[in-house]
Chains A and B, each alone.
Chain A
Amino acid sequence: MIHDASLPEAELQQFQKRSLLVGIVGLALCGAGMLFNREEFFRSYLLAYLFWIGIALGCLAIVMLHHLSGGAWGIVIRRLLESATRTLPLMALLFLPIVFGLSHLYEWARPEALGDKILRHKSLYLNVPFFLVRAALYFAAWIAVVYFLNKWSLKQDQTAAPSLSRQLELLSGPGLVIYGATMTFASIDWVMSLEAHWFSTIYGLSFMVGQVLGAFAFVIAVAILLSSRKPLSEVISSEHLHDLGKLLLAFVMLWAYLAFSQFLIMFSGNLPEEIPWYIRRQQGGWRWIGLLLILLHFALPFLLLLSRSLKRDAKKLLAVAALVIAMRFVDLLWQVSPAFHPEGFHFNWMDLAAPAGIGGIWLASFARQLKGRPVLPLHDPFFQEAVQHGRE
């Protein structure tokens, strides 16, 4: 029996401090960059923001999937997921710079957009006030779901009431519907509308799958890193890693399936309103980034994760998870940056500084949330079973 489920305080404290330092330095550099190149600052910031909020929201989706489906894999990482979701209020705050950069980022947010027939048609939806109202709604919805999920989870720790599991399950069904609806429109607002003439009905779905994939890779990495320390070292076994590895594989495949579906349909249709999106992403260096995505975002992790022994080997699985996390960033770069630089590959130093900045602050917040609560849901009615599962 495990009684103490808190992580070593001192180590986390140190990690939190270091992350915060990196974050502050990164954001300070970006702030300086903004003075010289306002345009590039907002582009890099948006990219970094999408990457980190994607992990937080992906964790939210996974935690709800777990409440609905059950399974030992979810119980052992549940607290890591919950800690990541509790960073969403911070992410709402970090959204503010984007609000001030709308006219730099989105062509529809500039006054001359009304001269364009298509943008005029879309202005009913794509206009600044409505965009802000929608963003506020998204955050309100996410934070509300996060609030109750975490509140009841904490209560379960204190009271051990089994009815709370049922309550969490009941919230997670509608919660996932809310996530699906809001995230679809958030992806249209924040990313798809960067190229406001272009549209794709699968986009929201593939954006969400990307988030969940990134979040899976992230929690797998964190779980492996923490599994060398108490108390997770007593719980997480190769059996759990195997299950998590399978889920990672499933999402790698799902991501590739959705990305390829969109590409094949647009390639075959070859319509002037769709194909330019891909033409821009095949010019100059972007073509090579696209190839890199096929090879390292799909082919390599897919082939590696087919191996049973790799999924059970913490070090190797960690390496694959790290690769997937890195490729999630490259994928977002390939989705976002060609909108601004259709002529070819472009990489600004702030494309590194901004992710480091937001990431540092986000990770510091994540570490703080991890410290605050037991890292294992000891009073989950299936907790013992989940531990037992790992020992079989």
Chain B
Amino acid sequence: MKEPLKTVIVEPGKPPIIEPGHTFASVTDKISSVVLTRRTPRGWYLGFGVSFVLVMVLLYALGKLMVVGTGIWGVNHPVGWGFAIINFVWWIGIGHAGTLISAILLLLRQEWRTSINRFAEAMTLFAVACAGIFPLIHVGRPWLPYWLFPYPNTMGLWPQFRSPLVWDVFAVSTYATVSLLFWFVGLIPDLATLRDRSRRQLPRVIYGILAMGWRGSAMHWHRYEMAYLLLAGLSTPLVLSVHTIVSLDFAVSIIPGWHATIFPPYFVAGAIYAGFAMVLILAIPIRAIYRLEDFITLRHLDNMAKIILVTGLIVAYGYMMEAFMGWYSANPYEEYMVLNRMRGPYAPLYWALIACNALAPQVFWLKRARSSIPVLFIIAIIVSIGMWLERFIIVVTSLHRDFLPSSWGMYYPTVWDWATFLGTTGLFVSLIFLFVRFLPMISIFEMRTILPQARVEE
């Protein structure tokens, strides 16, 4: 198998993916020092502290939910899917960019992925963890989650396999497992580096156990690379399937605004879109704080902006097709659903979503916008908000006006809805902080492979 990790592509006229002058030793030391020797910056304590407070808020909100019940939320007839589902879809979508960067870009031999794949994968795991909380607490009895899985039981009951919600259980748990495997396999050689380089006993033992005795043998590397490529090949269709199945949670029903055949590709594109926005939101401050501009160059940011532009166009295409087919279907409910989104009580949110998702990223047609860090950061935040609004519009506007006007109503999130949502952002950010502190946030061994001196000359 041709090893995509190995070739160094220097394209004339394009900025490099790693600044010149680095050696194997400098790359290793620079990345591992963040974990092993450098003093933890004060900002780390501050950021972790703030996000940890939010984790406490999350725990409080969840505790309250356990004691009182889902009545503390804003969900009620007719809107039975509120924040829990919106946030679930939003988080799991964010996770997709991590797998995309690590798997698809690896298969496409996009070398620039090397310096961002590790923390993008970490982002995937943490986003999936945040996403997973919501369906669990939304089922009402979160202490019985194993009922979702097919296991032999005295009641003789099985999950209903024609339901997309059961597909979701399989998809999300497979996705979490495979992402964890992929991330861990990628970490093994770097854990060995940390084991060999840490001077204190406890870290050495912990990293040593995790590295499992990795010694960098040629035969091991050979099988390792093959396993990594195979995992990438498996993760690529997996990541597409996960958001496809999430979209089927909606599309398999017959509710106007949910039952649309374009949902699978449109959700997948939206997930990648939101995910890359989140990678930018994280990468821009991290590269500034840890002085990693050599490794995460303008080229990376430019490429990510391009991906945001492309997926944003696909998402905009989805909006266009929904609106057109709403009219073309000649189905009064479909048509009403589209008009209700544009002119009904939630219209301001709909137009805000169009502005955030369809219009804002168009500035990325300009090279100047793609190379301006403030613009990138602002657009990334706008896109994240836009994608959250999109899920809000999809979930709420399709439910709040049911087929019969007697079942019309409004959805208002309560303070507990917001507390849970903010709490998961705190959980996500604190996990990111812990990750940055205790694991190499850039894949050290892959960075070595893209150095010019990594080539064997005969």
Contact = CB atoms under 8 A, between A and B. Distances in A.
Interface-centre pick from A70, A118, A257, A262 (highest chain B CB count, 10 A) = A257
A180 B11 CA distance: 29
B328 A261 contact: no
Interface residues of A, number: 33
Given A122-B328, A199-B325, A269 B313 contact: no
Contacts of A204: 321
Nearest to A203: B261
B261 A271 contact: no
A203 B328 CA distance: 13
Contact of B317 (A180, A199, A203, A273): A180
Given A253-B237, A257-B240, A271-B254, A308 B261 contact: no
Nearest to A177: B313
A184 B316 CA distance: 14
B328 A125 contact: yes
B322 to A, nearest CB: 6
A3 interface: no
B244 interface: yes
B329 to A, nearest CB: 5
Nearest to B244: A261
Nearest to B335: A121
A205 B263 CA distance: 12
Nearest to B263: A265
Interface in A212-229: none
B261 A262 contact: yes
A264 interface: yes
Given A199-B325, A201-B322, A201-B325, A266 B237 contact: no
Interface in A180-218: 180, 184, 188, 197, 199-205
Contact of B254 (A184, A201, A205, A269): A269
B262 A202 contact: yes
A265 B259 CA distance: 7
A253 B237 CA distance: 9
Contact of A308 (B1, B322, B328): B1
Contacts of B240: 257
B237 A261 contact: no
Interface string B236-266: 0100100010001001111000011111110
Overall SS of chain B's interface:
helix
B63 to A, nearest CB: 38
Overall SS of chain A's interface:
helix
B218 interface: no
B328 A258 contact: no
Nearest to A209: B265
Nearest to B162: A268
Contacts of B313: 177, 180
Interface string A171-182: 001000100100
Contacts of B164: 268
Contact of B259 (A197, A203, A269): A269
Contact of A261 (B1, B162, B264, B321): B264
B328 A199 contact: yes
Contacts of B263: 261, 265
Contacts of B237: 253
Nearest to A116: B330
A381 interface: yes
Interface string B78-101: 000000000000000000000000
Given A184-B321, A199-B325, A265 B252 contact: yes
Given A173-B365, A257-B240, A202 B252 contact: no
Contact of B330 (A118, A188, A257, A266): A118
Contacts of A125: 328
Contacts of B322: 201
A188 B365 CA distance: 29
A299 to B, nearest CB: 15
Contacts of B261: 200-203, 261-262, 265-266
B331 interface: yes
A204 B321 CA distance: 9
Nearest to A258: B265
Interface in B258-310: 259-265
A138 B317 CA distance: 17
Contacts of B12: 381
Interface string B60-85: 00000000000000000000000000
B330 A121 contact: yes
A266 B263 CA distance: 12
A258 B265 CA distance: 8
Contacts of A257: 240, 244, 264-265
B252 A269 contact: yes
A265 B321 contact: no
Interface-centre pick from A197, A199, A200, A257 (highest chain B CB count, 10 A) = A199
Contacts of B259: 265, 269, 271
A251 B128 CA distance: 28
Nearest to B261: A202
A173 B259 CA distance: 31
Contacts of A381: 12
Contacts of A269: 252-254, 259
A194 to B, nearest CB: 14
A125 B326 CA distance: 13
B365 A265 contact: no
A118 B262 CA distance: 22
A268 B252 contact: yes
A201 B252 contact: no
Interface string A51-86: 000000000000000000010000000000000000
A15 B321 CA distance: 43
Interface string A265-296: 11011010100000000000000000000000
Interface in B190-239: 237
Interface string A217-254: 00000000000000000000000000000000000010
Contact of B248 (A258, A265, A266, A308): A265
A271 B329 CA distance: 13
A205 B164 CA distance: 23
A114 to B, nearest CB: 14
B161 to A, nearest CB: 12
A121 B327 CA distance: 9
A262 B11 CA distance: 41
A203 B265 CA distance: 12
B331 A273 contact: yes
B365 A261 contact: no
B282 to A, nearest CB: 26
22 contacts: A70-B11, A118-B330, A121-B330, A122-B330, A184-B317, A184-B321, A188-B328, A197-B330, A199-B329, A200-B261, A204-B321, A257-B264, A258-B265, A264-B252, A265-B248, A265-B264, A266-B261, A268-B164, A269-B253, A269-B254, A273-B331, A308-B1
For the complex of A and B, 6 pairs with smallest distance between CB atoms: A201-B262, A202-B261, A261-B264, A268-B252, A121-B330, A118-B330
Given A121-B330, A271-B254, 8 more contacts: A180-B317, A200-B261, A200-B325, A205-B317, A257-B265, A261-B244, A261-B264, A265-B252
